Amino acid sequence: MRKPNFLLLLAGLFLAAACDDSKDEGVVFPDLNPILTGNYWKETTYPIVMQDGQTVVSKDKSLSDLQEAVGIENQKTYPTFDEDLGVFYMRGDGVIRKYTVYDGQETKSLSNAYTYKYDPTAQVLLLTATRDKLRNGWFADAELKPVSVEEDRVVFEAPVREYTREELGLGAETVGLQTIWNLIENPKDASRYGTDLTDCDPLTGY
């Protein structure tokens, strides 16, 4: 019987590991500060669940979809502006400006919704809520760990807060959150994100 080639087997294992979307603790990412700052981003967040003894990202519904469903069920509109990041701008002074649309027309923002600080050594992005109304935000005062970094797309993982778990009806199988930040390359053409940034100055919000 022909013996398997050890080098080929090793290469196959390496390829399988490289194709795995799960977090690799050995990966060293570049400093995110030059990538994140001075840009508009759109956040989409999904629950990470335990399934058959493994953690997987459940992309059937985003947290925003779940929140909307809860609002419809309870016959109320949830202020997603207060809980998700949505569309936001990361200023170079460590401040995040959040944008939202009220009544489908008027765009407003919070100039200092969060402060952020990225530690390139620990590879952790710390978000700190600056207002009481944001304390229940999905990532308020949370540490986000990057798991995938590209110039126009950054993926983080973070713990799930008990408030979020209870508010959205997430089961015990939910063990964390994965949030995907997609770069908005042209803020003047951001209508597809549900937010009109045409006349919004990132420094003033107006």
pLDDT at residue 82, as a whole number: 66
pLDDT at residue 125, as a whole number: 97
**CB neighbour list of residue 175: distance below 8 Å, 6 or more residues apart:** 48, 49, 50, 55, 160
Structural domain for 169, as ranges: 30-193
Is the pTM higher than 0.85? The answer reads no
> For residue 2, is it within any domain?
no
> For residue 178, is it within any domain?
yes
Check: CB of residue 186 under 8 Å from CB of residue 192.
no
88-121 pLDDT tens trace: 889 999 999 887 654 444 556 666 789 999 999 9
Residue 203 reports pLDDT greater than 80: no
Report the mean per-residue pLDDT for the chain.
77
pLDDT at residue 111, as a whole number: 67
Residue 40 reports pLDDT greater than 60: yes
Percent of the chain with pLDDT over 70: 67
Instruction: Please tell me which residue, 191 or 179, carries the higher pLDDT value.
Output: 179
CATH of the domain at 96: 2.40.128
Number of domains in the chain: 1
| Nearest by Cα to 177 from 97, 84, 94, 101 | 84
| Nearest by Cα to 198 from 95, 83, 107 | 107
> For residue 110, is it within any domain?
yes
Question: What is the Cα 17 distance to its own chain's centre?
Answer: 24
> For residue 3, is it within any domain?
no
Instruction: Please tell me which residue, 31 or 205, carries the higher pLDDT value.
Output: 31
Banded pLDDT at 77 (limits 50, 70, 90): low
> For residue 10, is it within any domain?
no
Residue 189 reports pLDDT greater than 70: no
Percent of the chain with pLDDT over 90: 42
> For residue 199, is it within any domain?
no
